[in-house]
Structure 1
């Protein structure tokens, strides 16, 4: 099965969004879906335990070059998501993408333009894009 393009997904969302057509409704559902995605990750740690977090201060020396920084800085995750948690997180991220696309539709913004613009900014600014 081929993945839909961003344009196809955005069109599909525009055809399916019936209940929450108000921009305020979509904004609140987008925020709620983001919180649900975060909650699904937290549950993978606290309820399932398939991943663990060991968060601590990042040790970053002023004399690190970029390659050293990539190897020395940590993501604080150990373990791998189990299939159940991975599916739950993917579902929540999908719902979040749905409402992001709905917001784009209501504001007459193409999702592909958003991604292209952000990609261009990342390419241009590189590591200085970390704001």
Structure 2
């Protein structure tokens, strides 16, 4: 199956969005979909258990003499395990729904999601580690 480009996705969102056309509807649906992404992520820990939560303080795990370059390889996520196929499918579904409403918001303001992605990519690739994400 061919990968869908963002422009085509955004145009399709514009074609199919009928019920929640108001900017107020779009913004609240975007917020709701973001909450569903969060909920499906949390369910990997609370319901399924495929992910284990490790709430040890990150400050205590990182050596104080570690330089910034080494931090990149010292990934601390507070989680252990791998997302199971069922949870992965649910998270992907919720992220897809979130992208739908993000695209709808872009359409309201005549913004091109692909241009936004390109600008953000250029900003973070230019700033590199200094973007501090």
What TM-score comes out, normalization by structure 2 length?
A: 0.91
For 1:72, what is the secondary structure of its paired residue?
A: coil
* Stretches of structure 1 lacking an aligned partner (at least 5 in a row): none
Aligned to 1:89: 91
1:56 aligns with: 56
Residue 61 of structure 1 deviates from its aligned partner by 5.0
Residue 17 of structure 2 corresponds to 17
Partners of 1:104 and 1:110 within 8 A in 2: yes
8 Å CA contact retained: 1:51, 1:80? yes
CA distance in 1, matches of 2:52, 2:95: 20
Matched-pair contact (CA < 8 Å) for 1:44–1:81: yes
Q: CA RMSD for the aligned pairs?
A: 1.5
Please give the secondary structure, in 2, of the residue aligned with 1:39: helix
Pairs aligned (count): 131
Matches within 5 A, 1:34-113: 34-59=34-59, 60=62, 63-113=65-115
Greater Cα offset, 56-65 or 18-27 = 56-65
C-alpha deviations, 1:74-100, integer Å up to 9, x for none?
A: 112211111110000000000000000
TM-score, normalised relative to structure 1:
0.92
SS across alignment from 1:94: helix
Counterparts of 2:77 and 2:64, CA distance in 1: 20
The yes-or-no answer on 1:8 pairing with 2:8 is: yes
The 2-side partners of 1:57 and 1:127 are apart by 23
Distance (Å, rounded) in 2 between the aligned partners of 1:22 and 1:5: 25
